[in-house]
Amino acid sequence: MEKLLICIAIMILSADPVFAESDPGKVKDNVVSAEKNEQREESAFCNFKNGMNSCLLSLVYSTIKVNIAVIAGVVGGVAYPLSCFNSGVSKKIWDSSMGGTYLITEDILTGKEKPELFFKREREEATGK
């Protein structure tokens, strides 16, 4: 008897209240429940997939981006005295190479956010995009 009560308690606690959210006319043979479970599984899988892709791509992309930024920092530092201490030249080098995205996020992978990859272009800066 105790085992039966424990089983009933577990079933009640783990029950999914899908039927309370759905329309009464749509509930036939747990169709709504199955559809919602499939959506949850797809959503969980997509989140997992995007998270893993984000981590793996960020490992590769970030190392390349940091190396480019360090090299551009040195080049900009050398360009400053060579341009008769004109800060505009070195600032263009630094802004175009050091700015932008350093990590690939899930929003970038899903298209919600537009990344600024390795170098910014002057055309984009002039048009304000």
User: Is pLDDT at 39 greater than 70 in this prediction?
Assistant: no
23 domain residue, yes or no: no
The number of distinct structural domains making up the chain is 1
Poorest-pLDDT segment among 100-104, 111-115, 118-122: 118-122
pLDDT average, residue stretch 29-55: 72
pLDDT average, residue stretch 29-44: 62
C-alpha dihedral (122, 124, 126, 129), degrees to nearest 10: -160
6 domain residue, yes or no: no
9 domain residue, yes or no: no
3-class SS string, the chain = CHHHHHHHHHHHHCCCCHHHHCCCCCCCCCHHHHHHHHHHHHHHHHHHHHHHHHHHHHHHHHHHHHHHHHHHHHHHHHHHHHCCCCHHHHHHHHHHHHCCCCCCCHHHHHCCCCCCCCCCCHHHHHHCC
pLDDT tens profile 3-25: 666 755 565 554 444 444 445 55
pLDDT tens profile 56-104: 999 999 999 999 999 999 999 999 999 999 889 999 988 888 888 889 8
In the structure, what pLDDT confidence band is assigned to residue 38 with cuts at 50, 70 and 90?
low
Tokens found for residue 40? 């949850």
19 domain residue, yes or no: no
18 domain residue, yes or no: no
Q: How far is CA 40 from the centre of its chain?
A: 19
2 domain residue, yes or no: no
Q: Which domain holds residue 100?
A: 29-127
71 domain residue, yes or no: yes
119 domain residue, yes or no: yes
In contact, 118 and 65? CB cutoff 8 Å: yes
